[in-house]
Amino acid sequence: MGDEGRVDVVVEIPRGSRNKYEYDEERQIMRLDRRIIGSVAFPADYGFVPRTTGADGDPLDALVLLDEPTFPGVWVAARAIGVSWIGTDAGREAKLLCVALGDPAYDEVTDIDELPHHVLREIGQFFSVYEQLEERSTVSDEGQEGRAAALRVLEESSRRWQREQATAGTRPASRACAAGGQAHGTPAVRPGPEVTQTRVGRAAGNRS
């Protein structure tokens, strides 16, 4: 597989947490936004892919599967293996599914069909339950697609961000490294032929 589909993910919320952390761009730190009501907890480490813009205008959301959760602000080298689709009032939203590189439990996982079915079901159902508890929008689990879809979403999100930069100019350096507050030299997406090379920081604001 080489470097195809390899990405850096900035973790905002560790697996099992009910605390909703977000990156504060002005202060260049992670902050506690709120506590999630109910008994649901994030099913995987959750964050975003730098230097991307999703269809909702925010950096592309990503979940990283690994044996032990990390903590807010960590950069995780990961492999994109699929996409979980969530239907919202504003349209369909992509959640990139990844596995952590360097974790022996996921060394051989390159596509979502190599994961247990219950893992995918838990991820899909989490977002619909979470949004209902937050009473913010009507959502539905619209299933998952595999690695090919993940590469396509990465490419689209990378190009969308690049178009924004060409129109608006270069973003401040504070967005270049959400965890450390400074520019980082490694690309966030280490692509194969289908994916454009990229890296950025996370825009502040409320995200699911």
The residues that bridge with 11 in the sheet, in sequence order, are: 47
Q: Which CATH number fits domain 6-190: 3.40.50.300, 3.90.80.10, 2.70.98.10, 3.40.1180.10?
A: 3.90.80.10
Q: How far apart are CA 12 and CA 20, in angstroms?
A: 8
Q: What is the mean pLDDT of the chain?
A: 77
- In this predicted structure, the answer to whether residue 75 has a pLDDT above a threshold of 70 is yes
CB 48 within 8 A of CB 175: no
**In this model, does residue 27 exceed pLDDT 80?**
yes
Instruction: Report domain extents, the chain.
Output: 6-190
pLDDT single digits (tens) 32-70: 878 877 677 889 999 999 999 998 888 999 999 999 999
Kindly state the average pLDDT of the residues 113-126: 89
**Which pairs from 160-167 meet CB under 8 Å and 24+ separation?**
160/52, 160/53, 160/54, 160/55, 161/51, 161/52, 161/53, 161/198, 161/200, 162/196, 162/198, 164/53
pLDDT at position 137: 61
Closest CA to 207 of 145, 131, 123, 149: 131
Q: 160-186 pLDDT, tens per residue?
A: 999 998 887 655 433 434 444 333 333
Query: What's the whole-model pTM score?
Result: 0.76
Total residue length of the chain = 208
Query: Could you tell me which residues come within 8 angstroms of residue 186 by beta carbon, excluding any fewer than 6 positions away?
Result: 8, 199
Q: Which residue has the higher pLDDT, 122 or 19?
A: 122
Which pLDDT score is estimated for 183? Answer: 34
**Across 12-21, average pLDDT:** 84
Closest CA to 115 of 194, 43, 52, 195: 43
